Amino acid sequence: MLRFATMSLRAPVYIVGAGCAHPERELTSVDLADRVPGLPAGWSEQHLGMTSRHVLGIDESVNDLTIAALSTALEHAHLTGDDLDMVLCGNVFPEQVVPASASFVARSINPDVIAFDVKAACASFIYALATSTALLDGRGLRRAAVCSGEHPTAYADYSDSRSCVFFGDAAGAVVVTTDEPARGAFEIVDIELNGDHEFPERVFVPRHGYFRSDGRYSFSQVCRLGSAAIRELFDRNDVDPDAIVGLAMHQASQHINDSVSEAIGVPVDRHWHNFEWAGNQSAAGVATAFASGWTRHRDVLRDGDHVLLAAVGGGYTGAAALLRWKM
């Protein structure tokens, strides 16, 4: 039986800004087919829906990419780093083991904030969002940055197509606050977390090793846990799938996203996605899809519109967040 963790908010919490950043260097599916042994030409496009990814160079840091994403989010929110009380980073593939990625981000924007990382595989961004929401809710802290900066290509084996074909590097960030927004913002209505940890080794990155995954089993877990978390949000908040105007999911592949979309009844044309050119960005994929989707749709959002965030990570960790647009 699935275990669910439900957020019970005593006061409204809002997302007032979002931003994302991608490396300039592009790695196309054609490049991969030429480089990776045994990878057929056109496989990535046909099976994943991915034509390209963006990857960090050997002299580039994902921490810098995260700082760039947060700078955009702060500008979008009309705030500065001095306005923040906390910085949380939800990530899987950081630049370093110690210290927390959030420490480098904090040094850049406000060295005096509370700063720490949250790790729940590819659901880390939503878990960090849930953590920030709980800490802001009635504890005297008003504003937080929630970031995800991911460098999965550093852990990909380019001699094994099962390890490397998915990944792109990226960073995304949002600014959350308990302050009543002065302009359009997303209210965090509800967050649902779940998990199934019977076979955590099915997605595994060993020390000094490369990414390995049981793709078939992972596919079933993503569909099961992701759909279950979203349905819980629908039922508890009396929201119909037709009310969802945007769905930003973990950017794993088109096939996975289409399967979850069918299971929950939200049409695929309402997806906010970027996997086709940015690849699987691990936990950052939800954040970048949301940030870029908000930018694209800001002029057509209407008061009361609902947007969903959803992700499932190895372990397995499931998460979904229901947002409501407030003018």
Query: Which tens digit of pLDDT belongs to each residue from 261-280?
Result: 999 999 999 999 999 999 99
Q: Is the peptide bond before 99 cis (omega within 30 degrees of 0)?
A: yes
* Residues 128, 170 contacting (CB under 8 angstroms): no
- Mean pLDDT across 157-176: 94
Is the pLDDT confidence value at 214 over 70? yes
Is the pLDDT confidence value at 17 over 90? yes
The kind and range of the H/E element at 144 are strand 143-150
CA 24 to chain centre: 20
Q: Could you identify the residue written with the tokens 């519109």? A: 305
Mean pLDDT of the residues in the chain: 94
The fold of 3-7+184-326 is Peroxisomal Thiolase; Chain A, domain 1 (3.40.47)
- Cβ neighbours of residue 227 closer than 8 Å, sequence gap 6 or more: 260, 263, 264
Residue 1's pLDDT is what? 42
Identical fold at 3-7+184-326 and 14-177?
A: yes
Is the pLDDT confidence value at 319 over 50? yes
Q: Which CATH class is domain 14-177?
A: alpha beta
Q: How confident is the model at residue 182 (pLDDT cuts 50, 70, 90)?
A: confident
CA 143 to chain centre: 20
**Rounded distance between C-alpha atoms, residue 287 and residue 186, angstroms:** 14
Beta bridge partners of 90: 118
Tokens of 321: 């967040």
Is the pLDDT confidence value at 3 over 90? no
Beta bridge partners of 248: 309
- Cβ neighbours of residue 161 closer than 8 Å, sequence gap 6 or more: 32, 36, 37, 38, 39, 43
Closest among 180, 63, 172 to 126, alpha carbons compared: 172
- Mean pLDDT across 203-216: 92
65-118 pLDDT, tens digit per residue, is: 999 999 999 999 999 999 999 999 999 999 999 999 999 999 999 999 999 999
- Mean pLDDT across 25-32: 96
Residue ranges covered by each domain of the chain: 3-7+184-326, 14-177
In angstroms and rounded to an integer, the radius of gyration of the C-alpha atoms of the chain is 18
